[in-house]
A and B are shown apart, each in its own frame.
Chain A
Amino acid sequence: MAMTSEQAVEATALAGKGRSPWADARRRFFRNKAAMVGLAILAFVALFAVFGDFLSQWSNEELDYNVMGQIAQEGGPSIENGHYFGTDDLGRDLFARTVQGTQISLAVGLVGALIACVVGTLYGAVAGYVGGRTDNIMMRIVDIFMAIPYMFVLILLLVMYGRSITILFAGVGLISWMEMARIVRGQTLTIKGREFVEAARATGVSAPVIILRHIVPNLLGVIAVYATLLVPLMILTESFISFLGLGVQEPLTSLGALISEGAGTIAYGTTWQLGFPLLFFCLTLFGLFFVGDGLRDALDPKDR
């Protein structure tokens, strides 16, 4: 078919790399001020977790015998003795401990969200795409699991298998994927009815390829948003478990465990023991929520 010169000119302008839906979303995201603030906060927290150990004068295990026994008077935050955030009630450097706690908390959040993304997405997409009886059985299994109080199971797991970080990861992962599977299944049902999936089916593309090539990429927006909101949820869960005294085991620590300790000793006037872990905890949650909000706005422009 012949092209008119006008079409040709327009087409030349169009030629080259296309602007993908991702590029559009990225542009919208970077224009969102709140999301940028959130991202900056998150970057700061992440840098703190990764490089904090190099700034710290003390390791997280050393006891400072100079302040031991008189924490309330000597153990406060000070530049001179190298305890930037003060010490805990045993004389351990709180800066190093907060770095370590942030690392653990972020790790728990990220691992939980990652398990949720992978397991939940695949489970939900398969249930939604296959449909019928398979869908029914798979989703009823999720319903049954959700009906079991997860905190109870998590606590049982930690009691039975000992308080280890692996069990904590496993437990958090076990509970996190179900909500994701439900959301993904619902989205899959709508995408499944779209004509491009039908076109792929009509041309003989196999079901696993359709799920991975046509369904999942169109779900990624929803998944990304939900995952960013899931990370703080995981962190909160872990902190709650740690607050109950069942979380990570000493000498490891998490923000929740530190906050718990800080709350326990606040009566002695050592407010920094609560303040600094709490500050990082809140910063992380704020950052994640802002970024999650920004992602939602960027990926679902119609939803605003």
Chain B
Amino acid sequence: MSPLLSVRDLHVRFPIIRAGDMPWTKPRILHAVNGVDFELEAGQTLGVVGESGCGKSTLARGLIQMVPATGQVMWRGETDLLSLSPRQMKPYRSEIQMVFQDPLASLNPRMTLGQIIAEPLSTHRPDIPAKERRQRVAGMMERVGLLPQMINRYPHEFSGGQCQRIGIARALIVEPKLLICDEPVSALDVSIQAQVIELLKELQRDLGLAMIFIAHDLSVVKNISDEVMVLYLGRIMEKAPKARLYDDPQHPYTQALLSAVPIPDPVAERAKRIVPMTGDMPSPMNPPSGCVFRGRCPRAQDDCARTVPQPEGDAHRVACLHPGPLSAAEMA
């Protein structure tokens, strides 16, 4: 059986028109997502991690045509979502739903909870009578841990965690097959983060959802993912099943990210060695030649500037010319 979602060579490019440019000036291209491919089976979770600006969110938006993308996004092995017109795309939008980063900003302040959660339902299933719609909304609210009596309240009356539950209820009301979570817990307190993640896991188990879970926090991703993909400057650096990636990272970037995760044990934390990573991510408008990570890589050699490393390997893919476990010399 073909996977639920199969992405081949996805690119997202934005033309950048600067103020003062003449209309005929060729705009500069910002290549936000560069040749990403992955597969996602039903019921599985793909974690996507990377620094800010590495194209995580753009990748998610490219999949559902929220930003112009090229490549191939096969849905259930049948339909290439990128080849569809907006009208043809509409039925698929109920199968793929999204949860957003800022819980309050993703809810219209002028709408009641009931209206917000019911919106996808009334968009995709206008045939459902109002009474049944209300019942489904109430059922979904209960499901995500909100009291159905709050149906007439407004978003500003809720806390961040509750708002995120509303966002999740809105996404799940149309029974999607794939849930794209764009940093759903980054804006929440740590204690609330755990609650929301547990809720997502529980719902995933019950509904057989596939998830693409975007985060910049590796420990959050570890908790929820089956596979993890590390992005840097719009490219895949490393992609592996969770256990392989966390126990045996091959790419120096992944190693650096993992070494920066704090350990909740002061002794271990102090003993920990951090892989030094200098500088900032280069501008995606002007990426370095060869390996995009070489400017900050402790292993960079001459050939890194010449050859663009391709993600190689089968289950555990690494885009590096000099992969391998972390050596003692690399730790400061």
Chain A residues engaging chain B, CB cutoff 8 angstroms:
1, 3, 8, 11-12, 14-22, 194-196, 198-205, 209, 213-214, 217-218
Contact = CB atoms under 8 A, between A and B. Distances in A.
Contact of A14 (B66, B107, B157, B174): B157
B154 A20 contact: yes
Interface residues of B, number: 39
Contacts of B64: 202
Contacts of A19: 154, 157
Nearest to B113: A18
A21 B147 contact: no
A11 B152 contact: no
A204 B66 contact: no
Contacts of A3: 145, 147
Given A3-B145, A16-B149, A198-B100, A204 B156 contact: no
A204 B145 CA distance: 26
B63 to A, nearest CB: 10
Interface of B: 64, 66, 89-90, 93-94, 97-98, 100-102, 105-113, 119-120, 123-124, 144-145, 147, 149-150, 152-154, 156-157, 167, 170, 174, 199, 202
A217 B115 CA distance: 14
B102 A204 contact: no
A94 B124 CA distance: 63
Contacts of A203: 93-94, 97-98, 119-120, 123-124, 170, 174
Given A19-B157, A21-B110, A204-B93, A199 B170 contact: yes
A11 B148 CA distance: 10
A152 B152 CA distance: 52
A266 to B, nearest CB: 52
A14 B149 contact: yes
B81 to A, nearest CB: 13
Nearest to B165: A1
Minimum-distance CB pairs A-B, first 3: A18-B153, A15-B149, A204-B93
A22 B100 CA distance: 26
A264 B145 CA distance: 74
A203 to B, nearest CB: 4
A115 B154 CA distance: 31
A205 B111 CA distance: 15
B154 A218 contact: no
B119 A200 contact: yes
Nearest to A8: B147
A214 B155 CA distance: 14
A217 B110 CA distance: 7
A202 B156 CA distance: 22
A200 B156 CA distance: 18
Contact of A202 (B98, B111, B149, B199): B98
A19 B155 CA distance: 10
B119 A21 contact: no
A91 to B, nearest CB: 56
A21 B107 CA distance: 13
Contacts of A195: 100-102, 105-106
B90 A194 contact: no
B185 to A, nearest CB: 15
Nearest to A15: B149
Contacts of B107: 196
